[in-house]
């Protein structure tokens, strides 16, 4: 009997999920994350069915001296949701969701995806800020920030988090909220997976949907500079109910033409939404206008086809100091050189409630009004990897004159320089103090790591 099998038999005999080793059926499928560029082989995959399984998995890792990574939805583009040669705590079987309609809250387990969360809350006409790609996990997105359609009105996903149950490195299960372990609650709202495994998360909900005004208008790439100028100028005077993104991308088959799209969501009344999107529909001569009344859940799944599981991805992202004309021209020229039709450049506009929270109120330092540019290099086969990575890096270098200091935790590439410094900013010293209290051995370090003091 191998030492691993012996440890499994003696340390975690009560484990109710699956403990997979490399020779086991299901291991290869379970080890894969969303980004096909990430190809890691954990020694053990602990597919947990509940909080007690997480406790057992951590005990097993300690017994065997294995490093640990944690996967919720597995969307982290840098591959931090898996590990080579360690123990992968896989929360994906944990799908429980309970909606309290009278309290307007929902508690969901750490393996829930946003499309699953939205399906349950929208049955009651309720929602909270969640990911714009439906297959993203709620836990990773929330702990790292939480960009979504509702953030101008209701803040980031982490601003809507009202509590979480965490399994700590020593196996304790702690409840974190404004009233319980308040310092830990401050830290997990932006501090990522540095402090424990999020077994469940509780959110405030808001009256949104089931239909809202949203969708996208698309213009040909030769009109991209004018369209992005219009996008920028429109963003200068948006109500909190309105969220706008812009994207340089390639239209799907059979067109395969490079285009620029402006995507919108208005979470107010349908009448107000119709008025708000009228200028977007009236600008220029779009090649496609799919902007109107849409189910909120459908809007959250609209971008899913552009991010297929298994595609190779390398991203670079950072705030711009200003979306000036020169920055716009630089973005358009860079996209014209994109080697893969799967690649795109997204511009996320930040305003409203998400930017009005003081930086010191949560660990999240991303409270800057303005524009976050995401260079998404994506390709289909391994032979394209060198060109794909080079294009993203070259595009990012071309943007250097326009970059502001702020970077979003969840988009940080694996080879980012000083990732903790650029993501946590002025909140890093306090995060290090809290890390020292709750994880002094830095057991949870497969992340944008906060070092204990």
| Mean pLDDT value across residues 178-183 | 98
CATH fold for domain 3-90: 3.30.43
Mean pLDDT computed over every residue of the chain:
96
What are the start-end ranges of the E strands in 76-171?
Answer: 87-90, 97-100, 105-109, 126-127, 161-167
Domain map (residue ranges) of the chain: 3-90, 97-208+428-438, 211-411
| Mean pLDDT value across residues 421-426 | 95
Give me the pLDDT at residue 2, please. Answer: 76
In terms of CATH architecture, what is 211-411? 3-Layer(aba) Sandwich (3.40)
Residue 7 has pLDDT above 80, yes or no: no
Give me the pLDDT at residue 1, please. Answer: 61
Give me the pLDDT at residue 312, please. Answer: 98
Give residue-wise pLDDT tens across range 253-264: 777 799 999 999
Give residue-wise pLDDT tens across range 81-140: 999 999 999 999 999 999 999 999 999 999 999 999 999 999 999 999 998 999 999 999
Give residue-wise pLDDT tens across range 305-357: 999 999 999 999 999 989 999 999 999 999 999 999 999 999 999 999 999 99
The residue to which tokens 């969360």 are assigned: 117
Is the pTM here over 0.85, yes or no? yes
Residue 3 has pLDDT above 80, yes or no: no
| Mean pLDDT value across residues 274-295 | 96
Higher pLDDT, 256 or 223: 223
Give me the pLDDT at residue 254, please. Answer: 72
In CATH, what class is 97-208+428-438? alpha beta
Closest to 434 measured CA to CA, from 421, 410, 450, 418: 450
Long-range contacts of 248-255 (CB under 8 A, 24+ apart): 248/221, 248/224, 248/331, 248/332, 248/335, 248/344, 248/345, 249/306, 249/343, 249/344, 249/345, 250/338, 250/341, 250/342, 250/343, 250/344, 251/218, 252/305
Contact 129, 20 (CB under 8 A): no
């Amino acid at each position: 009997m191998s030492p691993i099998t012996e440890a499994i038999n003696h340390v975690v005999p009560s484990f109710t999920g699956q403990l997979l080793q490399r020779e086991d059926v299901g291991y290869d499928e379970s080890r894969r994350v969303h980004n096909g560029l990430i190809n890691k082989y954990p020694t053990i995959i602990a597919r947990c069915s509940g909080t007690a399984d997480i406790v057992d998995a951590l005990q097993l890792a300690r017994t065997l001296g294995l490093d640990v990574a944690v996967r919720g939805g597995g969307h982290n583009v840098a591959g931090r949701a898996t590990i080579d040669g360690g123990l992968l705590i896989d929360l994906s079987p944990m799908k429980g969701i309970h909606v309290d309609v009278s309290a307007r809250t929902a508690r969901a387990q750490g393996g829930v995806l946003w499309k699953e969360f939205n399906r349950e809350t929208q049955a009651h006409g309720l929602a909270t800020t969640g990911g714009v790609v439906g297959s993203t996990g709620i836990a990773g997105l929330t702990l790292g920030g939480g960009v979504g359609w509702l953030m101008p009105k209701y803040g980031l996903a982490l601003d809507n988090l009202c509590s979480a149950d965490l399994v700590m490195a020593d196996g304790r299960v702690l409840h974190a909220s404004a009233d319980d372990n308040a310092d830990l609650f401050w830290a997990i709202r932006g501090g990522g997976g540095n402090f424990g495994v999020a077994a469940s998360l509780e959110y405030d909900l808001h009256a949104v949907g089931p239909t809202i005004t949203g969708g996208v208008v698309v213009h040909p790439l030769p009109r991209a500079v004018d369209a992005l100028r219009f996008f920028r100028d429109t963003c200068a005077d948006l109500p909190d109910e309105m969220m706008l993104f812009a994207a340089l991308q390639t239209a799907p088959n059979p067109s395969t033409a490079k285009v620029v799209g402006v995507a919108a969501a208005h979470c107010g009344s349908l009448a107000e939404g119709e008025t708000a999107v009228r200028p977007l529909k009236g600008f220029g001569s779009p090649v496609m206008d799919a902007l109107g009344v849409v189910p909120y859940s459908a809007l959250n799944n609209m971008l899913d086809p552009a991010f297929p599981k298994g595609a190779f991805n390398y991203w670079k992202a950072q705030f711009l100091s200003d979306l000036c004309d020169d920055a716009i021209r630089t973005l358009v020229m860079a996209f014209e050189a994109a080697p893969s039709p799967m690649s795109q450049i997204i511009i996320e506009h930040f305003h409203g409630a998400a930017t009005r929270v003081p930086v010191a109120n949560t660990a999240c330092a991303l409270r800057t009004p303005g524009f976050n540019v995401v260079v998404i290099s994506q390709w289909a086969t391994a032979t394209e990897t060198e060109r794909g990575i080079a294009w993203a890096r070259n595009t990012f270098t071309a943007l250097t004159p326009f970059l502001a200091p702020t970077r979003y935790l969840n988009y940080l590439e694996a080879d980012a320089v000083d990732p903790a410094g650029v993501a946590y900013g002025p909140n890093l010293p306090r995060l290090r103090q809290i890390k020292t209290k709750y994880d002094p051995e830095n057991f949870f370090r497969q992340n944008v790591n906060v070092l204990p003091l």
